Structure 1
Amino acid sequence: MGILCASGFAALADPLPHPLTDADFLSVDPDQAKLGQLLFYDKILSGNKNISCGTCHHADLAGGDGLSLGIGEGGSGVGPSRTGGTGADRVRKRIPRNAPSLWNLGHKDVNVLFHDGRLSISDLYGNGFNSPAEEWLPKGLTNIVAAQAVFPLTAQFEMAGNPKENEVAGAVHDRVDAAWPIISKRVRSIPAYSAEFTRVFEHINHAEDIGIVDIAEALSAFIRMEWRNHDSPFDAYLAGDRTALTPSAHRGMELFFGRAGCSSCHSGSLLTDQRFHALALPAFGPGRTRRFDPYARDVGRMGESDTLEDAYRFRTPPLRNVALTGPYGHNGAYPTLRGMVEHHLDPTGSRARWRPDQAELPALPWLSATDFVITQDRLEMARQDAQIDIEPLALRHAEIDAIVSFLHGLTGETAVKTPFGVPETVPSGLPVDVVYPIDIIDISINRRVQNR
């Protein structure tokens, strides 16, 4: 018995993308990247010094955290075993969205980031970007990854903490740009950091010269080098090795770029059109919406554009190394690739069949009453059900298997061992998050395993 596959487009084969090469990526200074690695895993950048960028984007979890919705500031541990903390310091809210993938963000064509696209390359504010900081984003950021890096530091539930808890959170409460000088001072006050910044950045001669732009540039260099990867079987196939893909993956590729219509959105070398589409994923979590809207719903792109036509639309994610980056969807609704593919295949039916236990949500009893509260809003559910940009098309189960095989064929041969990995220590002396074997992802089945 067949099931449905998404395709709102004619069943004409789309051209295969050009093979990726290092020339497609912005150049990276390895010394700056090494410095960025230390900053990425150092909790000194967070308001309460208890969470790092690497907590939610850990190298041992393929640049993610293995959770549907992350547990940010106030939590304890890393990966699927992360807890919400205890006492007055426990988390007050789940992170509203799934931790986005970091793979190949240094590609020269990347022009928009975040699930709702609230950061994009633009001259609107005179600093090179249209961002939540608007005109207060500091000038001098040379790429979109550097611009993105400064925002988790100022987000209350991600890294900044709650007002009155620390000086960073208090500054953010006044205005977003008031926090960055505080974080910069913390970093340059550590002798090892000031020495490294002086060594690897030509324009920095003294510790006092180190600012948030320099910190962001180092973080960006690390992210762009650590998660650059294009040595998958699909890459080998595009480069001319017609035996690189298994027969099943090859059949899946033909469907992906042909009758299944996947490439109408997942196009180009990164397999994303960088546009926004509504898929009617199952709804849960605290949501993310406009500032004046108290609902637990997530309105997607409309939260940035304030345009009704953008409601419930989310950015098409890149698919390279996608087998490593579950759970899937803007809220991590599906734990496996097959589940996410089948949702594309039949959004309405999959949404109706979805069960809450499919979400990877560590128990937070004090928040459990609100985890699925949005599903009780009949009118909101009807609005989300009505906003779907893809149409169903029947495919056989074997064809679905082939598409999943192709998606596994996008995993790089060296992706599981990134260039830098996780440092044993960081200059601040704060603890570095360690992923334990139970939380390592088995990429063959997209599940946690006991041993590795």
Structure 2
Amino acid sequence: MTRHITRILGSTALSALLALPALADSAPPLATLPPPPVPADNPMSEEKVELGEKLFWDGRLSGNGSMPCSACHLPDLGWGTGGAISFGYPGTQHWRNSQTILNSAYYDKLFWEGSATSLESQAKGAAGGAVAGNGDGSMMEMRLRFVPEYVAAFKDVFGTEWPQVAHAWDAIAAYERTIVTDATKVPFDRYLAGDTDAMSDAAKRGMELFNGKAGCISCHNGALASDQKFYDIGVPAAEEFEVDPLYQITLRWELYQKGVTEELYRKGDDDLGLYHVTKRPDDKGKFRTPSLRELRWTEPYMHNGALWSLADVVDFYDAGGGEGQTAGLQPLGLGDGEKADLVAFLEALSMEEPMLAEAPDLPETATWSEFLK
């Protein structure tokens, strides 16, 4: 059997693979990401990606023109905002951390509570969300129709005489499927490919802890380092909710518009997470397991940005999670050296340099005289 595997992988890659600590039978091992899945009804093309890139940066796809996708997903801030809680639409305030869109192409559940099941629906939801983009679909579509370059591009890519806003979400999703980890720049992936020197000794010890004593692999597994399931790990409520009335207004609005009972509305003082989707009491406070890839560039962490460093995250889990957690976490008893090793491994799951991108030049809106010609 070993000779057969060696013929497939090569001796060096096999040595690296066999060096991985033993994993729990029920948890898929970490792996290198394959090419992103592409839905059959939204195939990729260079022209579609180029259009999606422009739309990603274009404020026309928002209520007042100031909140494009890039407003809350900035490349130089890990494709997030770099803060605990995301920006809100002017006059409002968001209530959750802005998740990075790095590797979002691999999720089948998007947003922290999993309410979107595709990048296409996620783009639509964010652009139209009252405290995010706050855009009206018909208004956004009409703005695109007043841009000659977009009219030509939508016709070329989608075959329509005029831009349709549903196709805008398709183009943005196609662009986001290109914002993924480059395995050749990730120490862990190079290690899996056979470069046994790609990771430091500390990272290798951290990998053993990850798969063993620390138990991280139980939920952070597979190529994405996420099982995409939902857990309440006891993350404390965001401090902002306690000190800023605008955050409190947003939280109450979210409770109301997501259809909670009057009792929950009046007593609600925290984000209910998955409960907003299922309305099952046991799902209160549960959030989707995030990927551990690119953590080095995407702080702070958790659904409300409560933890500002990887060391904080390791300390949180070492203590057995937070008050009231229902995920079955237990104190780990890690020493200081073990914690440092675990952080080193988590960093080795990121590219050695952040993925950056420049804002593209956006096309001009036609004047009335040009439009009427």
Same topology, TM > 0.5: yes
Structure 1 stretch 283-292 or stretch 228-237: which is displaced more?
A: 283-292
Distance 1:319 1:230 in 2: 14
Quick one: which amino acid aligns to residue 247 of structure 1?
Answer: D
TM-score, length basis structure 1 = 0.66
- Residue 386 of structure 1: how far off its partner (Å): 5.3
* Structure 1 residue ranges without an equivalent (≥5): 1-10, 75-90, 121-143, 161-167, 169-178, 352-383, 430-452
CA contact (8 A) 2:317 2:332 kept: no
Alignment-derived partner of residue 117 in structure 1: 114
Find the counterpart in structure 2 of residue 68 from structure 1: 84
Larger strand share, 1 or 2: 1
2:47 equivalent to 1:31: yes
Report the AA paired with residue 193 of structure 1.
Y
DSSP 3-state at the match of 1:119: coil
Aligned to 2:362: 426
- The reply to whether residue 19 of structure 1 matches residue 32 of structure 2 is yes
After TM superposition, the structure 1 = structure 2 runs for residues 140-159 of structure 1, keeping only pairs within 5 Å, are: 144-159=118-133
* Counterpart for residue 221 of structure 2: 267
Q: What is the CA distance between 1:28 and its match in structure 2? A: 3.2
Match of 2:67 in 1: 51
Following the alignment from structure 1 to structure 2, what is the Cα–Cα distance between the partners of residues 243 and 400?
21
Tell me by how many angstroms 1:264 deviates: 0.1
Compute the displacement of 1:424 (Å): 4.7
| Structure 1 residues 297 and 399: alpha-carbon distance in aligned structure 2, compared to 1, 3 A threshold | same
Q: Which moved further from structure 2: 12-21 or 51-60?
A: 12-21
1:69 partner amino acid: I
Runs (5+) with no aligned partner, structure 2:
1-20, 242-246, 366-373
SS for the counterpart of 1:225 is: coil
Compute the TM-score of the two structures, normalised by the length of structure 2.
0.80
Query: Aligned residue for 1:437?
Result: none
Q: For the structure 1 residues 227 and 63, does the alpha-carbon distance in structure 2 shift closer, same or farther, using more than 3 Å as the test?
A: farther
Determine whether 1:400 maps to 2:308.
Answer: no
- Equivalent residues of 1:279, 1:388 under 8 A apart: yes
Instruction: Identify which of 336, 348, 359 aligns with 2:309.
Output: 336
Q: Is the 8 A contact 1:344 1:390 kept in 2?
A: yes
Count of residues in Structure 1 that have an aligned counterpart in Structure 2: 318
Could you tell me how far apart the structure 2 residues matched to 1:192 and 1:317 are?
Answer: 37
Aligned twin of 1:218: 171
**How many angstroms apart in 1 are the aligned matches of 2:275 and 2:34?**
35
Opposite residue 393 of structure 1, the aligned amino acid is L
Residues 1:389 and 2:328 are matched in the alignment:
yes
Q: Which one-letter code corresponds to 2:23 in the other structure?
A: A
How many angstroms apart in 2 are the aligned matches of 1:45 and 1:386? Answer: 39
1:428-443 → structure 2 map (5 Å cutoff):
428=364
AA aligned opposite 2:64: N
Deviation of 1:145 after TM superposition, in Å, equals: 0.8
Distance 1:397 1:309, change over 3 A: same
Q: Which residue of 2 aligns with 1:291?
A: 259
| Structure 1 contact 17–267 (Cα < 8 Å) conserved | yes
* 1:18-47 residue CA offsets vs partner (Å, 9 max, x unmatched): 32233x543632221111111111111111
Shift of 1:428: 4.5
Conserved 8 A contact 2:213-2:332? no
**Residues 354-401 of structure 1 deviation map (CA, whole Å, 9 limit, x = unaligned):** xxxxxxxxxxxxxxxxxxxxxxxxxxxxxx625453111211110110
Alignment of 1:147-226 (within 5 A): 147-160=121-134, 168=135, 179-201=136-158, 203-204=159-160, 206-207=161-162, 210-226=163-179
SS in 1 for 2:132: helix
Superposed displacement of residue 106, structure 1 = 2.1
Tell whether the 8 Å contact from 1:42 to 1:428 is kept in structure 2 after alignment.
Answer: no
